[in-house]
Structures are given as C-alpha cells and as structure tokens.
Amino acid sequence: CPGVKVTEVDWQQQRNGAAHHTQEFPGPNLVVRRGQMFTIIMNFSRALKSQEALIFTVGTGPQASEALRTKAVFQTSEPEAGAAWRAIQEAQTENTRTISFTSPPDAVIGRYWLSARASSRRKHSDKKLGEFILLFNPWCPEDEVFLASEEERQEYVLNDSGVIFRGVEKHIRTQGWNYGQQFEEDILNICLSILDRSPSHQDNPATDVSRRHDPIYVTRIISAMVNSNNDRGVVQGQWQGKYGSGTSPLHWQGSVAILQKWFKGRYKPVKYGQCWVFAGVMCTVLRCLGIATRVVSNFNSAHDTDRNLRVDKYVDSFGRTLEDLTEDSMWNFHVWNESWFARRDLGPTYNGWQVLDATPQEESEGVFRCGPASVIAIREGDVHLAHDGPFVFAEVNADYIIWLWHKDESQERVYSDTKKIGRCISTKAVGSDSRVDITGLYKHPEEGNRRKERQVYRKAVRKLFGVGSRRRDRIHRARGRGLWHDDLLEPAKKPSITGKFKLLEPPVLGHDLRLALSLANLTARAQKIRVNLSGATILYTRRPVAEILHESHAVRLEPKEEKNIPIAISYSQYKEDLTEDKKILLAAMCLVTKGEKLLVEKDITLEDFITIKVLGPATVGVAVVVEVMVVNPVLERVEDCLLMVEGSGLLRGQLSIDVPSLEPQERASVQFSITPSRSGPRQLQVDLVSPHFPDIKGFVIVHVAAAK
C-alpha cells in the first residue's frame, strides 16, 4: 500500500478568523489567537487506515526546540485540557480529516509552521502544511492579557482609529489617529518584524523567541524598538523645531505610513516623531499583536532627569528659562501608552493597566525604553517595583519649583507647587471620541484627601532614597548643591501681592494677542513693584524657541488695589518663530520693594479653524462627497496650500488635494469624493498644510453602511 500524503489543506480562514476576531487581517496566512481552538480540513492521497494516527509538528523561530517551548510534536487525541498543544479529529470522510488544534494559553506568539505525517511513515517524511500566525488572546481567561469586558476588547484591541489629546491643561485639543492595525496591507508582518529586528533577537534568536510568550518581555522590547535611539528602531525623535530632512511630527495622521516607510526603507528609522507619534505607533503594534492598549495624555508632565521627584527650573529676573542650568522640564503634555496584562513578576495586586512609553527620555537598564510600570504601583508609591517606577511616578507627582538665579550664582525660590504636575490625565472613552479623565487611577485625589496624596509622595521618596521618615536627609543635585527636601515641601511665605494673566480676547492664529497682567495688593499699605515681562514661542516641551516680548514696568499699588497692565503681541512679532505646536509662554517676574518676588506664568495655544462634512449617506463601494471648509488664518494672501486626507477603510493611502490661493482671512470650500471599503464607524482625517502657517488639523467620524 503506498504511503499516504497530504494533497491539500483548507485553513478555514473565514470560520477561524470570525472565531478569533482576526477576520479583518488581509492575510495570505491564517491568523489565530493562543489558548483557543482553530480548525483545518486536510485532504489525503488515499483513505487513512484505522490504526494510522496523524503526528503534527508546530514550530516558531529560527532554531525551534521542544526544550525552549518553541516547538511541539503531538498527535490527534481525545479532548483534554492541558498546557500543551493538542489536536482533535472532528470529522472524516474517505479522504479528508477535519482537525481542531488548540495552543496553550501561554504559547510563544509569532509566525509558526505546521507539518504532519501519518504514524505509518518514517520520522523524516513530515510534510509542511503551511504557516500561520499566533497572537496574544484577550478573549481567553487563561491568557495573561485576558480582558473581561467585550466593549473594552472592541476598543482597545480591534478599534483601528482613535484620538490623542494634546494642548495645555486649560485647553485640551483632540487629534485623530489612524492605528490601522488590522486592515492595512502588511502591518501584522511589519509588527512581527519589529520583534525580529531587536538587538535581543539579533544577539540570541532562539532565547529571544522563547520569551515571546510573556507580555512583560514583548512590551519592553517594543518600547525600545519604536524609537531609534539604541537600535534601528522605527521612529527618530526630533524636538528642535526643524524638520527639513524628514516629516514634521505634526504631519503624520497615523501609524500606517510610518510603519510601511520603515519596512520598505529596509529598517531605516523614519524621521521624525514626538511623544504622540511614538505612542500612536506603539498602540498599533501592541493592538496588532493582541495586547489591549490605549493612548494616555498627561498634562503638565514632569521630565525628572535626576530622580529626585522634583522639577527644578532656573530663571533670570525676567522669568526666562536658563537652559544651561535647567536639566528637568515640565512638558505642556506628554503622551504614553497603557497595556492591560497580569504581572506574574509582582503579584496579582499589580495586574491591570501598565504604563509603557516609547519616547526616548531616559535610559532604562542602558536602553531608551520605559515600562511596563503598574499604574496601581504608581498610585500607591511603590516606585521600587519593575520597571521604571520612579520616572513614571515623577511624571505625574513631582513637585514643581522655580528658582531665581542671581548673578553671584546664589539662588532663591520664587515659586513652588505640589499640585501643578500630573493634571487631567486623559484617554479616549470606550465606544466614543470623548475624553475620560483617569487622573484618579494614577494618584489619590488631591482635593479632600491631601494627606493621603502627600503620604504616598513621602513613601516614594523613602523607597527611592531610603530616607527615614523623621530624618531630614540631604538630596544632592547633580551640580553638587544640596537642599533639604522637607524644607522644599513647606509652602513659600504668604505673598503680599497676587498676579494673573488674563486673555482679553481668544488667541487666534494669524491675529494679534491682547492680554492683561492683573496685579492685586493684598496689604493695607501702598506697594511699589517692578514688573519684568517676557514672552517666547515654545515647543510643547516648554523649551523656548525665540523671545517675542521683553519689557519692564514700574507699578504702584494702593492699599488693596487691583491693576491691569495691558500686553499686546502683534502677529508680526510671533509669526516667524511660531512652531507647529502654536504655543507661547508668558512670564512676569514681579519684584516687590522688600525683596519679595512673585513669578506668574501662562501657556497660550493659538486657535485655528477647519470643518469637515460628509454630504450624504456613506455606503461600502459607493462614492460619497466630502466638503471641507478652511480659512486662511493670516493677514496675507497664501498659495501652495494642500489638504492631506487619510482614513482607514475609507480610502487607500493618502489623498493630496490642491487648495486654490486664499486672500487674507478668506474662507473656502474644497470638495472631493471617497469610496468606503469597510462598514462601521470610520475616521476621516483632513489636514490643511501650508508653508505660511502651521498645520491645521481636523477629523470626522463617518458611519459607513454595509453594501446593499
């Protein structure tokens, strides 16, 4: 009787894809999730005899081995629960067998090959049946990435578009982002390639692949690989405000173009990214691999370079930042990711959301990466737990202190605030684009529970420095100046004046700015004040770009008097130096006669305008017209404007549309058509790009009906 051969395999892609929530991957290969059954139908050259069993081998990685759990050999058996790969025969006809496979819920993820032979044949007669891809499984209760809520799984694993919150604490802006982790060509392949390009894989591929069962390991690798600092990672960061040799971080509308450019460019880092770009790309990669992930924005985010849980800023007598002295910074906002999985290394208390940050800020174990850090550990001040707890804790809890630097190199504290940092921590709502404030997950509410919040802060200081709670230990700054930490927590002396910047009209891109500095005398005696005003265009990291205001006023305040000092900044003063962040920082150093000082700061984001309307119902396969209304924000005629349009499931790639020349302040309507390819809610992004002013970004959700 001739040996039996497998002649054909039906991978049942539609049936398996629907069961595994992977049907949207454009494949050629079957994509399934670990710990869950999938079924194939095998055709044979002849009928199998009753005593002939089928022996299967699965393997992943370049040196698959049973010892490393990257290879398994098993045969069809009775259904039984267990930690190993198993195969069950579901049905048979004369020449076919229907086989269901189940992988262990802690199997290594990645590209697998499957081969088979009949037990009557020699060991080396295995026939390779083909390849499939195995992902993490948030639907499987035994998987470490299990997430119980179906609504959350739809949002954090399957939603391929979202929003990212940017701006300043008092004025939060929403930006659309196309994650595109399922529908777009080659994205899954690229995400797996990121793992293969990591230094850990290049150094020891067999061990690296064997560790890919662990979400802690995989997310830490991805956190390092999304930036290009220690490897040929995906995105190169740039915070100088000049992007001539690449793409400005604000031009990107999603992750797809970035990942495809990196892959097609033979792993050359893509220029350029800033924090939301790194977070958007990492969200795509981790959702694609099957780990529930979301993008989180922290307003007034600390970058604490010396791990003392303080941001120390040094200024001159006009309140201008002294960059050569100031190592720490407080960014207007910073964006990172959270992924949901169990922490077997820390214990079940710390399961759930874990902070991951691919923006290259500080090294972690010699590599620019951050996390996973348990959000619960951050909230409770357990900063000693893996990974990078002190850095993340400082981002949301550091004290903010401003020092006036005198010419004789002495310094004087002119501002301190224990509440300023870590505000309005935000993420997209499940099932809608509204903003959810998750500050309470990161810290105990400061209002009404101030004692608890400061107890956690002191616990974190103790864990970091081993500081005895009663001892006044010294914490040394990098430059050798020592300061008593407890003294710094005391409030500064009660001021005799207060000050606040007030906007007299909304700050609009292309227009003059009109503000006032409002000063109030809190005492019953007259006071003389020297007010030194400065203003600068800044990046969102609050790094100054160019000074646009520098003036001094002598002010006399009568007892209990309040006075407004008018401030005007014309468009011509700021237009040359405004960055794409559209941000300006104002400072007023108020010097009161008896040596008292008051520093007032205000961050301003300039407003812009774009509206997008879909004219008619949207249906798969049917063209629909979109109307975009734009305004020339500047007081001059502009040409060479473009609309850049992108939307996963709405159009392939990017659309670029010329905008006719616009007179000063002119409104114009631009129309174009799109033909949706996928049903459901889809995000359409439209950016107005011009050499004359920063990008103006907008997006709209298009509800697409299935084809009739």
Q: State the binding site.
A: 397, 399, 446, 453
Sign of CA dihedral 300, 304, 310, 316: negative
140 is catalytic: no
Q: Which amino acid is at 379?
A: R
Residue 26, by phi and psi: left (phi above 0), alpha (psi -120 to 50) or beta? Answer: alpha
CA 315 to chain centre: 31
DSSP states along 392-424: HHHHHH-EEEEEEEPTTS-EEEEEEESSSSSEE
Q: Which of 21, 201, 334, 485 is catalytic?
A: 334
Number of Cα atoms under 13 Å in the Cβ half of residue 346: 23
Measure the CA–CA gap between 682 and 178, rounded to whole angstroms: 10
Measure the CA–CA gap between 223 and 368, rounded to whole angstroms: 8
Cite the annotated binding site for Ca(2+) by residue number: 397, 399, 446, 453
Q: Which of 208, 357, 382, 581 is catalytic?
A: 357
Q: Judge whether 158 and 151 are in contact, CB under 8 Å.
A: no
Measure the CA–CA gap between 297 and 516, rounded to whole angstroms: 30
Contacts of 279 (CB under 8 A, 6+ apart): 164, 295, 296, 335, 336, 337, 357, 358, 359
20 is catalytic: no
Q: Judge whether 20 and 177 are in contact, CB under 8 Å.
A: no
**Cα Rg of the chain, angstroms:** 29
Nearest 5°: the CA angle 358, 313, 337 is 20
DSSP states along 299-344: EEEEE-TTSSSEEEEEE-TT--B-TTT---EEEEEEEEEEEEE--T
**Tokens 């470490």 belong to residue:** 144
Q: Which of 143, 191, 208, 275 is catalytic?
A: 275
Per DSSP (E only), the strands in 105-216 are: 110-118, 127-135, 161-168, 171-178
Q: How many Cβ atoms are within 10 Å of 632's Cβ, its own excluded?
A: 23
703 is catalytic: no
Distance (Å) of CA 176 to CA 18, 114, 687: 28, 40, 10
* H or E stretch at 461: helix 450-465
Tell me 119's DSSP state.
Answer: T
Mode of pairing for the β-strands spanning 696-705 and 618-619: parallel
Q: What is the SS3 assignment for 615?
A: strand
Q: How many Cβ atoms are within 10 Å of 432's Cβ, its own excluded?
A: 12
Contacts of 325 (CB under 8 A, 6+ apart): 314, 405
Mode of pairing for the β-strands spanning 37-44 and 54-60: unpaired
Q: Judge whether 587 and 601 are in contact, CB under 8 Å.
A: yes
Q: Would you name the residues annotated as active-site residues?
A: 275, 334, 357
